[in-house]
Every structure is written in C-alpha cells, then in structure tokens.
Amino acid sequence: MVTETTSPNPTSNGPLIELDGVAYTYRTPGGAPVQAVRRATGAFHRGRVYAIMGRSGSGKSTLLSLMAGLDLPTEGEIRFEGVSLARLDRDAYRRRKVGLVFQTFNLLLQLTGLENVVLAGELCGWPARERRARATALLGRVGIDPTTASRRSLRLSGGEQQRVAIARALAAEPPLILADEPTGNLDQETGRAIVELLTSLARREGRCVIIATHAPSVAAECDEVWNISDGRLLPVTEGP
C-alpha cells in the first residue's frame, strides 16, 4: 500500500503537462515518412489518473516517449508546468520530473530489487550513507518487504518486479508518472493490484499518472480516458 505523502506542488491548479498540436514524424529504414502522432492536444493535471487507449502501433508509446522528453515533437509543443520541453534540460527533466514504468519492467536482473532502487537513488543524487535505508523505505511503500527486496530481480514474480520498477521510478519523487502497458505481462489479479498502486500515486500523493493501455479494465479505473488511433488523440470520457 502506498502511504500518503505531501503532494508535489499541491497548490498549483494549472495542468502539469500540456500537449499543443503535437505531431511526430519519423522515417523508416527505406526512407518513407511515418506520422506516428498527429496534432495531439490535451492537458493533464496532478492528482488524476489518465488512460491513453489504443491498439499496438496506434502511437500511444510514441506519445508517452515525447511526454518523457526522449525526443521533441516535429510539430507543436509540449509544456511542463507551463514551460516548453524544448527550452528545458531534458536530461534533468527526465531525471527529476518523470518516473517511467514499462511493460517489460527493465530491471537489472542480476541485481536485487533493493540494489535496483539504490542505483536509481544514486543517479538521483541520494547521499551514499542514506541510499539503502531510503530504498528500503521506498520499496515498503509499494508493498515489497526487505526479504523480497533482497532477492535477485530474476527470481521475483512479475508483479514483484513491477512493484520494484515503480519504486525505482519514484526515486526522485517525480510529479509525473508515465506507464506504458504496465500490466501487459501480468495476470489479471496482479495487474489489478498494479493499477491500484498507480492510481494511489495520483489520488493519495497528488501525482499525475498517465497509463498507455489497450485494456478496458485498466481504463475503467482511471479518471479520464483518451483514445489514440492512427496517431490522433481524442477524449473519450472525463471523470469528476
């Protein structure tokens, strides 16, 4: 269970991240252009959970990578706290402001769960003497006890690996969590627990959580649902 903490910038009422006419085109190895995202516009706020739904190849992963600052749009603008990503140090932005959660977990499998989070803390600048204690506390927040955390990641279940991955994503206490098909490799019950954990990060800790998914059961737990098809992003439902 995620414990309550102080919300990042809780007094701000504006969107945390905005898309303004965002498009992204890349070229295939043969040189043909592919427009992966087409003029996407939307605003995403702290304290809410968003689903971006679409089939494989619809552009949802590309859109999340743009929001993470891994690349810049070929058209339009993405703004974080009102500032264009094009004007930010995107390495620092990814390190401090964004937590990434992947379908394939992306843990270092020869390290323990604890060591994966310690390494993330080191990259975030945690003092050396505090790293193990802070990593242990962070893992506890996502439901991983010290015994489980001491196992090599390759010996953890899929659900345990995803919880470790979420703890790692929280090392910098980022206000924005981007999760790309986070339940895709999990059974239904474990996937439901991971979605509950992600929604808690928004509703109890004041983060903005955006989940790319093709699963209606995941979208049903979110505050807003957007659909992306052929690179076009459209709102489907909006909660209170």
Counting residues of the chain whose pLDDT is more than 70, the rounded percentage is: 93
| pLDDT, tens digit (0-9, with 9 covering 90-100), for 96-125 | 999 999 999 999 999 999 999 999 999 999
Confirm whether 11 is domain-assigned.
no
Cα separation, 183 vs 7, in Å, equals: 25
Q: What is the DSSP string of 138-201?
A: HHHHTT--HHHHTSBGGGS-HHHHHHHHHHHHTTT--SEEEEESTTTTS-HHHHHHHHHHHHHH
Confirm whether 70 is domain-assigned.
no
| Residue 5: band (very low, low, confident or very high) from pLDDT cuts 50, 70, 90 | very low
pLDDT of residue 2: 44
- Residue 140: domain span: 108-172
The answer to whether 121 touches 171, Cβ cutoff 8 Å, is: yes
Cα separation, 43 vs 16, in Å, equals: 8
| pLDDT, tens digit (0-9, with 9 covering 90-100), for 175-206 | 999 999 999 999 999 999 999 999 999 999 99
Report how many domains make up the chain: 1
Confirm whether 156 is domain-assigned.
yes
**Mean pLDDT value across residues 9-30:** 84
Confirm whether 191 is domain-assigned.
no
Confirm whether 160 is domain-assigned.
yes
**Mean pLDDT value across residues 23-42:** 91
Confirm whether 127 is domain-assigned.
yes
Confirm whether 32 is domain-assigned.
no
Confirm whether 48 is domain-assigned.
no
pLDDT of residue 12: 54
